[in-house]
Amino acid sequence: EENVTVTEDFSRVENTYQMEAEVCIIFSDFGKMQNVCNLLTEKLGTSVTISPPHFYHTPEAVDTLRRQVCVAAVGNTQRKAQEVCRLFGQSLGKPLLIREEETKEWGGHIDSHLSNSPDSLTLQERIQNATAYASCRVFAVFEIKGKENRRNKLL
């Protein structure tokens, strides 16, 4: 598979042959990674060494996060506008203008100010440091329909 890299090293030690293999796997599912590590440890015991995972975000994953945050911001804006319209006895119409004002991203890396090396962090600390966050501020203008429009539609 394209997400697996295997490096093998054969050597002769006295009258025996020794093989060492390094397997690097890229996982997109944290649970699946844990299951594979547990299975390898269970089946191979002390003959296997599992290095701590290295977390990173693909450009596609970051782009998906940006889009999801923007869509959520637009949805929140629409719900708030609907609540305000209800408060004044109006109904919300279609959007006339939606503009992304500001997008912020943070996290997604090991902070350089940490005194511990990345290898000495616990798994939970590594996950926390690798978690990416994003926020988006949007500006939206919606059409407002008066009470009379609603009554006419009912008739």
What the chain holds in terms of domains, given with CATH numbers, is 4-44 (no CATH), 59-145 (3.30.110)
**96, β-bridge pairs:** none
DSSP 77: H
In the prediction, which pLDDT does 111 show?
Answer: 46
Residue 68 token pair: 């999801």
In the prediction, which pLDDT does 109 show?
Answer: 60
Half-sphere exposure at residue 151, Cβ-oriented, CA atoms within 13 angstroms: 4
In the prediction, which pLDDT does 104 show?
Answer: 94
Distance CA 141, CA 97 (A): 5
In the prediction, which pLDDT does 147 show?
Answer: 73
In the prediction, which pLDDT does 90 show?
Answer: 94
In the prediction, which pLDDT does 108 show?
Answer: 66
Distance CA 129, CA 53 (A): 13
Distance CA 144, CA 82 (A): 9
Residue 56 and residue 49 in contact, taking contact as beta carbons nearer than 8 Å: no
- Cα torsion 56, 60, 66, 67: sign: negative
In the prediction, which pLDDT does 148 show?
Answer: 54
What are the average pLDDT values for consecutive 10-residue runs of the chain, which has 155 residues?
Answer: 86 89 88 90 88 86 94 97 94 96 82 54 84 95 78 51
User: Which residue has tokens 């943070």?
Assistant: 106
Global confidence as pTM: 0.66
Residue 8 token pair: 């093998």
